[in-house]
């Protein structure tokens, strides 16, 4: 029964929804400009497959049921408005599909309602409850109306409407009751639509947009900033770009980032969810007209997200990997660090000597160019410019590879493999500087740029095309970040390159390493750059290795605690992250841990030594393990 008022009601409801979404739109559009391209095919894959959301099995399945339970019946209802005729059997199948999906949706709603109501977590928004109750009302009134209709016209079981049949058992055989249910159903639908932008359900729009505009570059690539034009990082909500603000608008506060954050797990004050939600609160304050972001009394980000929070981040990307709506807490944390360092000169005291060393010596070890190639003494390692070398690759040694006594062993192992494989390679030697990663992750873009531009000039001077790096941080910086400032090179990680040598049978491994071994995936190879297989290929290529995966491996690997400049910061709150990982390794019962990063090597060795085990597992770079099998 349609009344004369209904079209007006519908128009008003859609107007409310439109105005609401426009206001929300303006709250994240107040951010700075940022070029981003959309990806419709990727969005479709995301919606159809739900793979990201299914990362949390139970919530993912419930979401899948709720989503399809909403979308397909909605599609069928819209289709029904066109009144075209279809074969009876097809109409019945569609009716059955709508019923089954309705039941699935009902189960999904119940799951989320129970989860949110019973959650002791104060950050978990209770505002999801109202739209869920509305959805429940829509379903129940729909089923009751269908039940009443069936009990009037067809009191026997109808296979095309099992839920309606079930409801027909206790629905009164009354046209009036049916009409009341239809009207109620209609009004709750209208309420749900009008309330969309003002409730949690607005993520139907914001999360979809966020997935559409998600980052397509490698995760490890940081957004460059201009030191001339600014802003130098972020200290007010409008210093973020529109996409960074859209991240907060899309956040569903599911807590997956927090559950997987090593800083949070180890008891540090950082929660990536809180960071995202604090930004959202400021956006909402502006959006609701409570505050003017340009007013000096408007709270700064540093007032709501403390220094201890932003300096706790290891930039491990676990939060980015886990987020079902592709929000990226890390780039906000880095922008806040940038403001503290570049805008206020507030780098934590313990990291200042390292930055000074970078400025004076060009390395993090306070050694200087004169000692950069001491590690290669008596190894006959050619310089890239050596006459007649005609190099295939440049070996990027990195600060750890050049100066850290333990990691020098890995560099020498790499040289051994390259020589065994007959690879023509050279190094920059005294002309190589720190790649700039520690300075950049600690917010000092100025020092990063200085080092990076000098390195690029040296690499161009020798017409370098192909670079092989040992350190994943150097790999990430050279491969993903140097192109933005004019350094375009073909950058390969050592594990990938050596895998190629073994595949081409240029390197033959013959001596067994009879050990039960696990791999610790470095964050800057794995989550940041999606490199997992070469580590496993190399380990399996060594005769005698019995490879066992750790409980948290590949994209779920637990951080060593050393990234994001944390190698140079004290860890005096909560537990040490490397100790947590070392415990996990010790419980796995392996005798050897292979990794592919100087930070991981150092942090894990320290963590395992701390455990004072009777027979501690040995920590080695996988390059060293491969070299030891050469004989
Ligand atoms: S940022 Fe992503 S993972 Fe974290 S709470 Fe929000 S939606 Fe969940
Ligand atoms: S990058 Fe790692 S440490 Fe930083 S907030 Fe995300 S999960 Fe936590």
CA angle 291, 293, 298 (to 5 degrees): 70
Q: Report residue 185 CA to chain centroid gap.
A: 40
pLDDT at residue number 623? 98
> At 188, phi and psi to the nearest 5?
-70, -35
The pick from 268, 272, 523 for probing ligand 2's pocket by mutation, whose C-beta has the most ligand atoms within 8 angstroms, reads 272
Sign of the C-alpha dihedral, residues 255, 259, 265, 270? negative
Does any ligand 1 atom lie closer than 6 A to the CB of residue 276?
yes
Q: Whose CA is nearest to atom 5 of ligand 2?
A: 272
pLDDT tens digits along 19-63: 999 999 988 998 999 999 999 999 999 998 888 999 899 999 999
pLDDT at residue number 78? 76
Q: Whose CA is nearest to atom 6 of ligand 2?
A: 319
pLDDT at residue number 621? 98
Q: Whose CA is nearest to atom 7 of ligand 1?
A: 251
CA angle 192, 197, 198 (to 5 degrees): 85
Ligand nearest to the CA of 319: 2
pLDDT at residue number 328? 97
Spell out the residues 6+ positions from residue 489 whose beta carbon is closer than 8 angstroms to its own: 459, 464, 465, 466, 467, 478, 479, 482
Q: Whose CA is nearest to atom 1 of ligand 2?
A: 315
pLDDT at residue number 137? 95
Q: Whose CA is nearest to atom 3 of ligand 1?
A: 323
Ligand nearest to the CA of 566: 2
Does any ligand 1 atom lie closer than 6 A to the CB of residue 283?
no
Does any ligand 2 atom lie closer than 6 A to the CB of residue 319?
yes
Does any ligand 2 atom lie closer than 6 A to the CB of residue 523?
no
For ligand 2, the distance from its centroid to the CA atom of residue 328, given in whole angstroms, is: 10
Does any ligand 1 atom lie closer than 6 A to the CB of residue 214?
no
| Domain architecture of the chain: domains with CATH | 6-30+38-212 (1.20.950), 237-346 (1.10.1060.10), 365-473+485-491 (3.40.50), 515-628 (3.40.50)
Global pTM reads 0.91
Does any ligand 2 atom lie closer than 6 A to the CB of residue 317?
yes
The pick from 203, 208, 325, 331 for probing ligand 1's pocket by mutation, whose C-beta has the most ligand atoms within 8 angstroms, reads 325
Which residue ranges of the chain lie beneath pLDDT 70?
1-2, 81, 83-84, 120-126, 155-156, 289-290
Does any ligand 1 atom lie closer than 6 A to the CB of residue 452?
no
Does any ligand 1 atom lie closer than 6 A to the CB of residue 246?
no
pLDDT at residue number 316? 98
């Amino acid at each position: 029964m349609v009344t004369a008022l209904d079209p007006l009601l519908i128009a008003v409801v859609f107007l409310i929804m439109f105005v609401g979404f426009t206001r929300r739109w303006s709250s994240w559009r107040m951010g700075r400009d940022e070029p981003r391209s959309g990806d419709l095919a990727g969005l479709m894959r995301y919606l159809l497959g739900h793979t990201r959301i299914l990362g949390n099995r139970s919530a993912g399945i419930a979401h899948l049921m709720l989503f399809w339970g909403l979308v397909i019946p909605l599609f069928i209802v819209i289709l029904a408005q066109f009144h075209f005729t279809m074969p009876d059997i097809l109409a019945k199948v569609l009716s059955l599909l709508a019923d089954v999906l309705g039941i699935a949706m009902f189960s999904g709603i119940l799951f989320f309602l129970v989860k949110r109501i019973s959650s002791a977590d104060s950050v978990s928004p209770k505002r999801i409850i109202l739209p869920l109750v509305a959805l429940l009302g829509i379903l129940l009134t729909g089923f009751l109306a269908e039940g009443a209709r069936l009990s009037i016209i067809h009191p026997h079981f109808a296979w095309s409407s099992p839920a309606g049949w079930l409801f027909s058992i206790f629905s009164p055989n009354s046209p009036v009751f049916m009409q009341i249910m239809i009207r109620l159903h209609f009004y709750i639908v209208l309420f749900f639509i009008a309330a969309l932008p003002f409730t949690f359900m607005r993520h139907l729009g914001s999360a979809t947009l966020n997935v559409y505009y998600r980052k397509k570059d490698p995760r490890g690539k940081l957004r460059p900033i201009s030191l001339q034009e600014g802003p130098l990082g972020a200290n007010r909500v409008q210093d973020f770009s529109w996409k960074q603000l859209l991240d907060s608008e899309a956040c569903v506060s599911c807590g997956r980032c927090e559950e997987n954050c090593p800083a949070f797990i180890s008891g540090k004050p950082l929660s990536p969810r809180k960071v995202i939600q604090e930004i959202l609160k400021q956006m909402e304050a502006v959006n609701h007209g409570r505050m003017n972001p340009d007013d000096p009394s408007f709270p700064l980000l540093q007032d709501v997200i403390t220094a201890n929070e932003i300096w706790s981040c290891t930039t491990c990307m676990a939060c980015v990997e886990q987020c079902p709506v592709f929000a990226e807490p890390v780039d906000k944390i880095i922008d806040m660090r940038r403001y503290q360092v570049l805008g206020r000169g507030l780098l934590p005291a313990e990291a200042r000597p390292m930055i000074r060393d970078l400025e004076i010596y060009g390395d993090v070890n306070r050694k200087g160019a004169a000692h950069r190639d001491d590690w290669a003494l008596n190894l006959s390692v050619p310089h890239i410019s050596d006459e007649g070398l005609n190099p295939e690759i440049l070996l990027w040694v990195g600060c750890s590879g050049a100066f850290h006594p333990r990691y020098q062993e890995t560099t020498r192992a790499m040289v051994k493999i390259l020589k065994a494989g007959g690879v023509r390679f050279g190094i920059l030697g005294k002309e190589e500087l720190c790649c700039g990663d520690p300075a950049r992750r600690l917010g000092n873009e100025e020092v990063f740029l200085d080092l990076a531009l000098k390195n690029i000039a040296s690499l161009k001077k020798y017409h370098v095309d192909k670079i092989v790096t040992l350190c994943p941080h150097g790999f990430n910086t050279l491969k993903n970040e140097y192109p933005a400032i004019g350094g375009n090179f073909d950058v390969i990680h050592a594990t990938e390159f050596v895998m190629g040598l073994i595949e081409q049978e240029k390197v033959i491994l013959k001596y067994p390493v009879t050990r039960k071994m696990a791999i610790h995936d470095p964050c800057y190879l794995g989550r940041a750059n999606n490199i997992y297989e070469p580590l496993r290929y190399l380990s399996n290529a060594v005769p005698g290795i019995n490879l066992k995966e750790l409980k948290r491996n590949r994209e779920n690997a637990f951080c060593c605690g050393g990234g994001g400049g944390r190698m140079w910061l004290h860890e005096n709150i909560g537990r040490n992250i490397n100790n947590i990982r070392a415990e996990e390794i010790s419980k796995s019962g392996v005798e050897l841990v292979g990794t592919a990063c100087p930070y991981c090597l150092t942090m894990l060795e320290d963590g395992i030594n701390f455990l004072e085990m009777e027979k501690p597992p040995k920590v080695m770079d996988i390059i060293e393990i491969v070299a030891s099998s050469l004989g």
